């Protein structure tokens, strides 16, 4: 299947696969190599990739994507409760349900564009959140959140054995199972749930790559660059934007289902506007319209949320304990507002820096570093072979993009 | 349509990668210990999962202080607090089973999702053997079921919903705090004595498991007195302004407002109610009254002047004069310069109870600890004689009915104890309809 891709895409796909599968090894030194967080990396990566198909390609900024995440979670959990503890029907069902839900919301919201579209989606998401919280309590269990129960009927594989809740599994492979392998003084945790999410992530990344390269993706880009002109040529773009909206809604539903499969609880706060805002942040931070950007952004934000937020004062004091008392106290006082419960502040700062200096997100940053390196090596080459022809000059100039094309260029 | 290209080498490579990915986690299976996070020889890690943001942040901060104090005492630092007054004299200040007690903290944000993520990080990353805390029943129920699945003990902190040890009870979960049914049962006689038996009540209720059961319990108890329930309105937990909920009360014909709110919810709703002049109103020829079924000193301090004369119930109060309470208040006061709240008390006691159960069981195995706690009777921890009932893992002890003090002598002296309702008056059958519907299941040691 890689044969159909361009060479650069094939390399990207292979690299991506290797990095994702090696996450337990890569993340362990960063203190993030435990199943819960790695699962979140993969799942929110899927969520952000899906969001990017809508926002990155068509430029429609949805502020209500968390609603699909929530709908996916609830429908997956109900499948786990009613049908089977196997995650396959749960995932399929939630993708279908969130797709239908996206069709409904997209059909209405896509009648408007720009800020009006954003507000409409935001309104729908807040409505879903409030419904889940109040009127739909019998389905969602409100604030407490929906959970598995010993009395669940589970038609296909009923009877919880020995008064113990069954945990979600893929044909017998339990999501919670972890192999702990000591490696260079670290404990690498290879978790079934993570690898299931990771394989889904890789599949979804491939799908998004194909969408980006397809004629369909081209039309979506045309919508982004000038929808009015597209309409004037007699081309009806709405079916295409609606399709993109539904696809990205299904991605979100899939992410929601995976969240529930890893940890069988669905809470209403998953649909709150802050959750919708989070995926926007992820995408922008990583790079809107780039393939790999959203995954990077999701990883960074989840890392901050789970690791930085757990650094409390006593940990910070440990860092500076070698320094003289006065200096250490000052450093602790300076650093501590940005860590622990203040992790939002440092995330906000980084986000501002990214938006101001790297409007194309981290991917643009990486691109600039790559360019710099190429230029430096180039300079050295030209210095040593002054009279030689410069074979790679063409490549460099083709790498340089015209201003403002950041959003349409893929990494 | 596609030129699907697949040769033997690629197929083999592909399936090798796929196979390795799928099989790697299973061939090793879980670590070979007898139960989840079996501690090593040197130390044992406890996970303190409390709200550091959201409507219950004040309570969370106080809980964390209490946990840190408990760890100090268990490790033999400080003055030992209630270790000396605890009827079971197993704890000597040498850690738990000879291991030094260490802890990790996390922020529940008063959200089930965030609380579970935090608890999972503690179990998977930090190797916590026991999780405790929570200042919301929604969170407590969510984390309790997580602990059940993961195979660690959950010692509930401040959670007052009937469901925690009712329909959502779990074999690995234990609650020392009292519950909504007990509050209502203790309050009813006092309300009847002071406000009579012919009253019309209006409920404002925090919209989640605790609020629901608190409302249900209060309605049942007051209707038994002969009161009439005019209306019961649910308010979102995240609400900060309750004026739109208070305004309808004035025209409803009700003469008692029952605020099934806690934390900053209660502070705000009570303040709004007072601003609307409810306490000066005369309705149906009677003085309008406000009742707050679950009270705490932190809330009383937040609400200031407004709490004077308002009835409520509490699990424990620092002014109690038994040996355990005095020792705890002295020790906590010396450490932090203020008396502990009921949240701090229950969290401190839960930590001690866990440590003691581990000592008595001689093991950290969750099943052994559960067995040691079930049916355990103890004294000297501030509540008098207390029983950890085996049927639902709920503690049964005296309940305090308190009232906002008219003339406080200090910023901490805000509540006065009106009545101590004895444990037998608030004890209920494990199959009481308000608690029915769940089952403990079997203890899960994980691994």
Q: Are residues A67 and A115 in the same domain?
A: yes
Q: In this predicted structure, what is the pLDDT of residue A13?
A: 92
d(CA B221, CA B225): 7
Pick A173's closest partner by Cβ from B3, B26, B114: B26
Residue A300 falls inside a structural domain: no
Contacts of A149 in chain B (CB under 8 A): 438
Residue A95 falls inside a structural domain: yes
- Is B53 an 8 Å CB contact of chain A? yes
Would you say B147 and B119 are in contact if contact means Cβ atoms under 8 Å apart?
A: yes
Cβ-defined contact of A164 to B112 (cutoff 8 Å): no
Residue A361 falls inside a structural domain: yes
Region A87-94 average pLDDT: 94
Mutate to test the interface with A, among B16, B19, B25, B60 (most CBs of A within 10 A): B25
Contacts of B4 in chain A (CB under 8 A): 1
Q: Are residues A116 and A262 in the same domain?
A: yes
Q: In this predicted structure, what is the pLDDT of residue B183?
A: 92
| Domain's final residue, options A238, A256, A290 | A290
Residue B78 pLDDT more than 90? no
Q: Which residue has the higher pLDDT, A75 or A171?
A: A75
Q: Which residue has the higher pLDDT, A400 or A278?
A: A278
Which residues does A91 contact at the CB level (< 8 Å), separation at least 6? A76, A254, A257, A258, A261
The runs of H, that is alpha helices, within A263-391 are 273-286, 293-306, 313-319, 325-335, 343-357, 361-384
Note the maximum CA span of chain B: 92
Cβ-defined contact of B171 to A144 (cutoff 8 Å): no
d(CA A394, CA A374): 12
**What is the chain B residue with the closest CA to A196?**
B22
Closest CA to B207 of B249, B237, B164: B237
Q: With the C-alpha atoms ordered B385, B391, B394, B400, is the resulting torsion angle positive or negative?
A: negative
d(CA A258, CA A43): 7
Pick B181-314's CATH classification: 2.60.40.3140, 1.10.606.20, 2.102.10.10, 3.40.50.2300.
Answer: 3.40.50.2300
- Going from the C-alpha of A179 to that of each of A36, A201, A334, B124, B441, the distances in angstroms are 14, 21, 40, 12, 27
Q: Are residues A336 and A282 in the same domain?
A: no
Place of tokens 């992790």: A343
Q: Is B333 helix (H, G, I), strand (E, B) or coil?
A: helix
- Can you name the residues that pair with A181 across neighbouring β-strands? A188
- Is B56 an 8 Å CB contact of chain A? no
Which residues does B98 contact at the CB level (< 8 Å), separation at least 6? none
Closest CA to B3 of A5, A3, A256: A3
Q: In this predicted structure, what is the pLDDT of residue A409?
A: 42
Q: In this predicted structure, what is the pLDDT of residue B369?
A: 93
On the question of a common fold for B43-178+318-392 and B181-314, the answer reads yes
Q: In this predicted structure, what is the pLDDT of residue A148?
A: 84
What confidence category does residue A160 fall into, taking pLDDT thresholds of 50, 70 and 90? low
Radius of gyration of chain B (CA): 24
**What is the chain B residue with the closest CA to A137?**
B208
Residue B441: HSE in the Cβ half-sphere, 13 Å Cα cutoff: 29
B111-115, B196-200, B242-246, B357-361: which has the minimum mean pLDDT?
B111-115
Pick B25's closest partner by Cβ from A133, A167, A192: A192
Q: Are residues A242 and A343 in the same domain?
A: no
* Number of structural domains in chain A: 2
Do the strands B386-388 and B395-396 form a parallel or antiparallel pair, or are they unpaired? antiparallel
Domain around A82: 2-290
Q: Are residues A243 and A390 in the same domain?
A: no
Distance from CA of A214 to the nearest CA of B (A): 14
Closest CA to A182 of A389, A377, A77, A33: A33
Residue B229 pLDDT more than 90? yes
A vs B, Cβ pairs < 8 A, gives: 140
Region B332-339 average pLDDT: 91
Region B254-260 average pLDDT: 91
Q: In this predicted structure, what is the pLDDT of residue A159?
A: 59
d(CA A1, CA B197): 79
Q: In this predicted structure, what is the pLDDT of residue B29?
A: 43
- Is B440 an 8 Å CB contact of chain A? yes
Which DSSP symbol is given to B382? Answer: S
Q: In this predicted structure, what is the pLDDT of residue A251?
A: 96
> Torsion-angle region of residue B382: left (phi > 0), alpha (psi -120 to 50) or beta?
left
Region B94-103 average pLDDT: 91
The mean predicted confidence, pLDDT, of chain A is 85
Q: Which residue has the higher pLDDT, A137 or B10?
A: A137
Tokens of B278: 């409810």
d(CA A249, CA A47): 9
Would you say B272 and B246 are in contact if contact means Cβ atoms under 8 Å apart?
A: yes
The runs of H, that is alpha helices, within A22-145 are 23-27, 35-58, 66-82, 87-109, 114-133, 137-140
Homologous superfamily in CATH for domain B43-178+318-392: Response regulator (3.40.50.2300)
Distance from CA of B121 to the nearest CA of A (A): 7
Angle in degrees, CA A85, A40, A46, rounded to 5: 85
Q: Are residues A23 and A108 in the same domain?
A: yes
What confidence category does residue B232 fall into, taking pLDDT thresholds of 50, 70 and 90? very high
Which residues does A212 contact at the CB level (< 8 Å), separation at least 6? A57, A291, A410
Q: Are residues A228 and A79 in the same domain?
A: yes
Domain range summary for chain B, segments of one domain joined by +: 43-178+318-392, 181-314
Q: How many CB atoms lie within 10 A of CB B276?
A: 17
A48-62, B15-29, B225-239: which has the minimum mean pLDDT?
B15-29
Cβ-defined contact of B149 to A176 (cutoff 8 Å): yes
Pick A133's closest partner by Cβ from B17, B30, B236: B236
- Is B360 an 8 Å CB contact of chain A? no
**What is the chain B residue with the closest CA to A302?**
B117
Secondary structure of B129-173 as H, E, C letters: CEEEECCCHHHHHHHHHHHHHHCCEEEECCCCCHHHHCCCCCCCE
Would you say A260 and A73 are in contact if contact means Cβ atoms under 8 Å apart?
A: yes
Contacts of B148 in chain A (CB under 8 A): 165
Residue A225: HSE in the Cβ half-sphere, 13 Å Cα cutoff: 13
Cβ-defined contact of A267 to B148 (cutoff 8 Å): no
Distance from CA of B447 to the nearest CA of A (A): 9
| Domain's final residue, options A275, A290, A305 | A290
The mean predicted confidence, pLDDT, of chain B is 87
Q: In this predicted structure, what is the pLDDT of residue A398?
A: 38
Residue B349: HSE in the Cβ half-sphere, 13 Å Cα cutoff: 36
Q: In this predicted structure, what is the pLDDT of residue B32?
A: 52
Q: In this predicted structure, what is the pLDDT of residue A386?
A: 60
Cβ-defined contact of A144 to B209 (cutoff 8 Å): yes
d(CA B49, CA B210): 19
Q: How many CB atoms lie within 10 A of CB A333?
A: 10
Q: Are residues A258 and A349 in the same domain?
A: no
- Is B308 an 8 Å CB contact of chain A? no
Q: In this predicted structure, what is the pLDDT of residue B57?
A: 83
Tokens of B194: 């002071």
Closest CA to B83 of B376, B398, B94: B94
Residue A158 pLDDT more than 60? yes
Would you say B120 and B128 are in contact if contact means Cβ atoms under 8 Å apart?
A: no
**ipTM higher than 0.95?**
no
Cβ-defined contact of A176 to B150 (cutoff 8 Å): yes
Q: Are residues A171 and A35 in the same domain?
A: yes
Q: Are residues A361 and A235 in the same domain?
A: no
Cβ-defined contact of A147 to B28 (cutoff 8 Å): no
Pick B25's closest partner by Cβ from A40, A178, A312: A178
- Going from the C-alpha of A354 to that of each of A53, A63, A410, B211, the distances in angstroms are 21, 20, 18, 43
**What is the chain B residue with the closest CA to A308?**
B106
Cβ-defined contact of B145 to A147 (cutoff 8 Å): yes
Tokens of B336: 């932090």
Q: With the C-alpha atoms ordered A322, A327, A332, A335, is the resulting torsion angle positive or negative?
A: negative
Across A21-35, A300-314, B355-369, which has the greatest mean pLDDT?
A: B355-369
A396-400, B174-178, B225-229: which has the minimum mean pLDDT?
A396-400
Q: In this predicted structure, what is the pLDDT of residue A401?
A: 41
Contacts of B145 in chain A (CB under 8 A): 147-148, 165, 265
Q: Are residues A261 and A330 in the same domain?
A: no
- Is B149 an 8 Å CB contact of chain A? yes
Mutate to test the interface with B, among A39, A44, A144 (most CBs of B within 10 A): A144
Q: Are residues A227 and A116 in the same domain?
A: yes
Scored b (16 or more CB within 10 A) or e, A249-258 reads: bbbbbbbbbb
Distance from CA of B168 to the nearest CA of A (A): 9
A8-17, A26-35, A150-159, B316-325: which has the minimum mean pLDDT?
A150-159
Q: In this predicted structure, what is the pLDDT of residue B21?
A: 52
Residue B24 pLDDT more than 60? no
pLDDT in tens, A303-361: 888 888 777 767 777 777 777 878 888 888 888 777 777 778 888 898 899 889 988 88
Cβ-defined contact of A263 to B146 (cutoff 8 Å): yes
pLDDT in tens, B422-445: 998 899 998 888 888 778 888 888
Q: In this predicted structure, what is the pLDDT of residue B388?
A: 92
Distance from CA of A10 to the nearest CA of B (A): 14
**What is the chain B residue with the closest CA to A307?**
B121
Cβ-defined contact of B29 to A341 (cutoff 8 Å): no
Q: Which residue has the higher pLDDT, B398 or A387?
A: B398
Pick B112's closest partner by Cβ from A145, A165, A195: A145
Contacts of A23 in chain B (CB under 8 A): none
pLDDT in tens, A365-410: 888 999 999 999 888 777 776 655 444 444 433 334 444 444 444 4
Contacts of B116 in chain A (CB under 8 A): 263, 265
Across A340-354, B33-47, B50-64, B371-385, which has the greatest mean pLDDT?
A: B371-385
Would you say B307 and B270 are in contact if contact means Cβ atoms under 8 Å apart?
A: yes
- Catalogue the E-assigned strands of B223-295: 228-235, 256-260, 282-283, 286-287, 289-294
Which B-chain residues 174-203 have CB contacts (< 8 A) with chain A? none
Q: In this predicted structure, what is the pLDDT of residue B41?
A: 84
d(CA B436, CA B447): 30
What confidence category does residue B2 fall into, taking pLDDT thresholds of 50, 70 and 90? very low
What confidence category does residue B230 fall into, taking pLDDT thresholds of 50, 70 and 90? very high
Cβ-defined contact of A34 to B116 (cutoff 8 Å): no
Contacts of A36 in chain B (CB under 8 A): 117, 120-121, 124-125
**What is the chain A residue with the closest CA to B118?**
A306
**Length of chain B (residues):** 447
d(CA B198, CA A302): 56
Which residues does A288 contact at the CB level (< 8 Å), separation at least 6? A52, A55, A56, A360, A361, A407
Contacts of A4 in chain B (CB under 8 A): 2-3
Tokens of A338: 């940005």
Q: In this predicted structure, what is the pLDDT of residue A220?
A: 93
């Amino acid at each position: 299947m890689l044969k159909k891709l361009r060479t650069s895409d094939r390399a990207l796909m292979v690299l991506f696969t290797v990095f994702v599968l090696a996450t337990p090894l890569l993340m362990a030194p960063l203190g993030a190599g435990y199943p819960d967080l790695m699962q979140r990396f993969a799942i929110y990566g899927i969520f952000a990739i899906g969001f990017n198909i809508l926002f990155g390609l068509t430029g429609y900024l949805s502020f209500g994507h968390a609603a699909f995440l929530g709908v996916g979670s609830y429908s997956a959990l109900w499948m786990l409760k009613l049908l089977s503890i196997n995650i396959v029907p749960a995932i399929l069902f939630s993708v279908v349900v969130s797709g239908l839900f996206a069709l409904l919301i997209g059909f209405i919201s896509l009648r408007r564009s720009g800020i009006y579209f954003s507000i409409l989606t935001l309104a729908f998401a807040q409505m879903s959140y409030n419904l889940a919280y109040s009127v739909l309590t019998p389905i969602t269990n409100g604030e407490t959140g929906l959970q598995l129960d010993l009395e669940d009927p589970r038609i296909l594989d009923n009877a919880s054995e020995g008064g113990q809740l069954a945990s979600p599994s893929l044909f017998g492979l339990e999501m919670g199972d972890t192999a702990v392998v000591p490696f260079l003084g670290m404990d690498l945790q290879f978790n079934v749930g993570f690898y299931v999410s990771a394989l889904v992530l890789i599949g979804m990344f491939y799908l998004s790559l194909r969408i980006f390269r397809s004629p369909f993706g081209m039309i979506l880009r045309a919508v982004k660059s000038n929808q009015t002109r597209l309409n004037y040529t007699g081309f009806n773009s709405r079916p295409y934007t609606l399709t993109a909206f539904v696809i990205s809604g299904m991605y979100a539903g899939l992410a929601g289902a995976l969240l529930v499969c890893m940890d069988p609880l669905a809470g209403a706060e998953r649909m709150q506007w802050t959750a919708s805002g989070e995926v926007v942040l992820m995408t922008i931070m990583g790079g809107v319209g780039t393939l790999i950007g959203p995954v990077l952004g999701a990883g960074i934000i989840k890392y901050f949320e789970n690791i930085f937020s757990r650094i409390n004062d006593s940990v910070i004091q440990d860092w500076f304990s070698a320094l003289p008392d006065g200096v250490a106290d000052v450093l602790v006082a300076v650093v501590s507002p940005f860590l622990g419960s203040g992790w939002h502040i440092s995330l906000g700062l980084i986000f501002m820096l990214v938006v101001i200096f790297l409007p194309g997100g981290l991917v643009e940053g990486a691109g600039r570093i790559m360019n710099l390196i190429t230029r430096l090596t180039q300079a050295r080459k030209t210095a040593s072979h002054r009279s030689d022809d410069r074979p790679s000059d063409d490549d460099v100039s083709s790498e340089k993009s015209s201003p403002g094309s950041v959003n349409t260029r893929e990494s | 349509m596609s030129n699907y290209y697949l040769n033997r080498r690629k197929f083999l490579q592909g399936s090798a990668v796929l196979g390795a990915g799928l099989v790697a986690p299973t061939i090793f299976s879980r670590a070979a210990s007898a139960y989840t996070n079996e501690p090593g020889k040197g130390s044992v890690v406890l996970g303190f999962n409390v709200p550091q943001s959201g409507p219950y942040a004040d309570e969370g901060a106080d809980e964390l202080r209490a946990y840190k104090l408990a760890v100090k005492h268990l490790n033999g630092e400080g003055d030992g607090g209630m270790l000396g007054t605890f009827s079971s004299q197993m704890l000597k200040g040498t850690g738990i089973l000879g291991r030094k007690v260490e802890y990790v903290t996390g922020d529940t944000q008063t959200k089930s999702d965030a609380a579970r993520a935090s608890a999972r990080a503690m179990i998977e990353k930090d190797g916590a053997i026991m999780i405790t805390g929570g200042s919301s029943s929604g969170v407590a129920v969510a984390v309790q079921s997580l602990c059940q699945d993961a195979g660690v003990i959950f010692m509930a902190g401040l959670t007052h919903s009937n469901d925690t040890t009712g329909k959502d009870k779990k074999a690995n979960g234990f609650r020392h705090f009292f519950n909504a049914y007990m509050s209502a049962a203790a309050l009813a006689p006092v309300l009847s004595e002071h406000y009579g038996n012919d009253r019309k009540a209006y409920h404002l209720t925090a919209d989640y498991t605790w609020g629901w059961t608190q409302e249900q319990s209060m309605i049942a108890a007051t209707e038994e007195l002969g009161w009439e329930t005019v209306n019961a309105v649910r308010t979102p937990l995240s609400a900060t302004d309750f004026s739109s909920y208070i305004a309808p009360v004035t025209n409803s014909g009700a003469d008692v407002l029952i605020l099934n709110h806690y934390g900053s919810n209660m502070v705000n709703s009570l303040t709004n109610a007072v601003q609307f002049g409810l306490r000066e109103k005369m309705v149906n020829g009677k003085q309008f009254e406000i009742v707050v079924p679950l009270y705490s000193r932190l809330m009383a301090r937040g609400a200031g002047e407004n709490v004077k004369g308002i009835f409520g119930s509490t699990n424990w109060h620092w002014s109690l004069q038994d040996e355990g309470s005095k020792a705890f208040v002295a020790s906590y006061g010396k450490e932090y310069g203020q008396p502990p709240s009921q949240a701090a008390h229950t969290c401190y006691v839960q930590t001690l109870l866990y440590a003691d159960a581990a000592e008595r069981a001689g093991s950290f195995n969750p099943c052994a600890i559960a067995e040691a706690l079930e049916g355990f009777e103890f004294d000297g921890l501030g509540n008098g004689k207390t029983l950890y009932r085996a049927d639902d893992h709920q503690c049964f002890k005296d309940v305090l009915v308190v009232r906002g003090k008219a003339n406080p002598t200090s910023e901490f002296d805000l509540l006065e104890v009106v009545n101590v309702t004895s444990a037998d008056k608030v004890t209920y059958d494990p199959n009481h309809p308000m608690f029915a519907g769940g089952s403990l299941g079997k203890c899960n040691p994980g691994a």
